[in-house]
Amino acid sequence: MATERTFSILKPDATRRNLTGAVNAVIEEAGLRIVGQRRIRMTKAQAETFYEVHKERPFYGELVSFMTSGPVVVQVLEGENAVAKYREVMGATNPAQAAEGTIRKRFAESVGENTVHGSDSAENAKIEIAQFFQDSDIAR
């Protein structure tokens, strides 16, 4: 399996509860390397673009409003099979269904306020990384 990159967001519920370090520890313990990281306040336009695939979903407005409600930490994670590995480490979208030891089982409050986002494919990871990072922001 080749070295791969995935895109991660520590969501406003994580920054609000001072969980950046705790979540990063889980990420690093899983063998993923944080090669890019920036704390930002997402604009409404950025959140709308990022979640455009969910535009028709009933929770879209709530999702955009939550993601702009406080600072987020955007990250580029690198490692073997990084996309699948990070999804495993995050756990199911709904924390009630997430496996023991996963980030969402340990920290998430609800399906909406679920602490982290991770790309669902290598192809989407590239698109998502390009929305928030330039190559010069990433150091290996």
* Catalytically active residues, by annotation: 117
Query: Residue 135 CB, nearest distance to ligand CMP (Å)?
Result: 24
Quick one: the chain helix, strand, coil %, rounded to 5? Answer: 45, 20, 35
| Pick 71 or 112: Cβ nearer ligand CMP | 112
Tokens in use for 101? 């030891």
Site residues (vs ligand CMP, CB under 6 A):
54, 59, 62-63, 93, 111-112, 114, 117
95 vs 125: CA distance, rounded Å: 22
- Which helix (H) or strand (E) segment is 13 a member of? helix 12-16
| Pick 91 or 135: Cβ nearer ligand CMP | 91
| Pick 54 or 55: Cβ nearer ligand CMP | 54
